[in-house]
Amino acid sequence: MKFGMRWFGAQDDPIPLEYIRQVPNVTHVIGALFDVPVGEVWPMDKIIALRDQIEGVGLKFELVESVNIHDDIKIGGPKRDWAIDNYIATIKNLSAVGIKVICYNFMPVFDWVRTQLRHRLPDGSYTMAYQDALVQGTAQETMERMNANNTGGHKLPGWEPERLVHLQELLEAYAPLGAEGLAENFKYFIQAIMPTCEQYDVKMAMHPDDPPKALFGLPRIATDAQDLRRIESFYDSPYNGFTLCTGSLGENRANDVPALIREFAGRDKVPFAQIRNIKFTSDVDFHESAHPSAYGSLDMYEIMLAFYQAGFDGYARSDHGRDIWGERGRPGYGLYDRALGTSYLSGLWEAITKANR
């Protein structure tokens, strides 16, 4: 398991790369270009500049999170083929600097959704939470409730004001699709890009839907084992893989996360793992927790053991951390708690690896 940390770039991330370098067992940075509009080709000069920054502090740049998918690819809209051609050009550019894995998602309109970005835990730390009752009604209503909720000026990805101007239009475009239509459009996309991925040795790693269920009447296609098997079936290759996010999949109590790991990592379909814990507060409500098993509802030892037993040798990162020690980070992406998470997870990994030698 090669550990990395996500970094949002010198412009947008308050954490210096030099600090990431000091986190024990972290060897990789998972980066992206955040100033290229979705759908356009990532220019070579900007990719090289990012790589040089990361390598400049002695870390490696082999994964990207995310190259986002243009809505016309998901909807099957008029600019679909243009956006796919550009995606292919981006894959080739990334390959030229040694990128091995691209994390992406196929969620309509929004990326992950939480109802509280700053939920106080009894120990005085802050975390993100999800309450199902608060996502009833329209997306607009949810957003207003969320903004009333002390977000510290932060927005969830996909909820940026410039996108929300088109929200109604987007929701209407997705409405007639249903999960079947979205899956068809995914199939068209993945079949179009796979030959390039294979030729240029870049693995696609789809992030599951977060939370793993339909919201605001929008379709979802990556929520459980059955969905993931269908995604595999559209193009069966280690290049058509998953970002196995334990938190996202674990947010549905019916998902057996270690079993999912054994199945999909066991078939070499998991180039990238995101590992975090969540704590259920009802059947469907949860908040994100500190990484160790005792603080959440997922058994992190079982999870790490499942990766080991599946023969996993890919990349991993601790996913979201809480705000602790007075830090006020990007929601989920402060330094301290993610560093603690990495230390804990890499400790479990060392113990499991050595015990099974």
What is the contact surface with ligand CS2 in residues (CB under 6 A)?
A: 65-66, 103-105, 111-112, 157, 207, 210, 245, 274, 319, 332
Q: How far is the CB of 60 from ligand CS2 (least distance, A)?
A: 19
- Residues 245 and 251: beta-carbon distance below 8 Å: no
Residue 126: how many other CB atoms lie within 10 Å: 22
Q: Which is nearer to ligand CS2, 210 or 232 (CB)?
A: 210
Q: Distances from the Cα of 244 to the Cαs of 18, 104, 148, 229, in angstroms?
A: 27, 12, 32, 13
Among 245, 270, 304, 310, binds Mn ion (CB under 5 A): 245
Q: What are phi and psi of 197, to 5 degrees?
A: -60, -45
| Residue 245 φ then ψ, to 5° | -95, 110
Number of Cα atoms under 13 Å in the Cβ half of residue 233:
8
Distance of closest approach, residue 210 Cβ to Mn ion, in angstroms: 6
205 touches Mn ion by CB under 5 A: no
CB of 273 to Mn ion, least distance (A): 10
Cα separation of 77 and 198, whole Å?
26
DSSP string, 71-116: HHHHHT-TTHHHHHHHHHHHHHHHHHTT--EEEEE--SS-S---SE
Cα–Cα distances (Å) from 270 to 5, 61, 206, 260, in that order, read: 17, 18, 9, 10
Q: How far is the CB of 211 from Mn ion (least distance, A)?
A: 11
Site size for Mn ion (CB under 5 A):
3
Could you tell me if 99 and 63 are in contact, meaning their C-beta atoms sit under 8 angstroms apart?
A: yes
Q: Are 336 and 22 in contact (CB under 8 A)?
A: no
- Tokens at 22, concatenated: 């000091």
Of all residues in the shown chain, the one whose CB is closest to Mn ion is 245
Q: Which of 288, 319, 323, 337 binds Mn ion (CB under 5 A)?
A: 319
Closest residue to ligand CS2, judged by C-beta, is: 66
Select 30 or 167, whichever has its Cβ closest to Mn ion: 30
Question: Closest approach of Cβ 103 to ligand CS2, in Å?
Answer: 5
Q: Which is nearer to Mn ion, 86 or 274 (CB)?
A: 274
We find the least distance from the C-beta atom of residue 1 to Mn ion, in angstroms, to be: 16
Q: Which one of ligand CS2, Mn ion, none is in contact with 103 (Cβ closer than 5 to 8 A by kind)?
A: ligand CS2
Return the residue of 66, 223, 274, 346 that touches Mn ion, per CB under 5 A. 274
C-beta of 248: minimal distance to ligand CS2 in Å?
7
Give whichever of 2 and 352 is closer to ligand CS2, judged by the CB atom. 2
| Residue 90 interacts with Mn ion (CB under 5 A): yes or no | no
Q: Which of Mn ion, ligand CS2, none does residue 246 bind (CB under 5 to 8 Å by kind)?
A: none
Would you say 214 or 351 has its CB closer to ligand CS2?
Answer: 214
Q: Helices 167-174 and 139-147: crossing angle, nearest 10°? A: 140
Residue with tokens 């469907």: 284
Q: What residue ranges bind Mn ion (CB under 5 A)?
A: 245, 274, 319
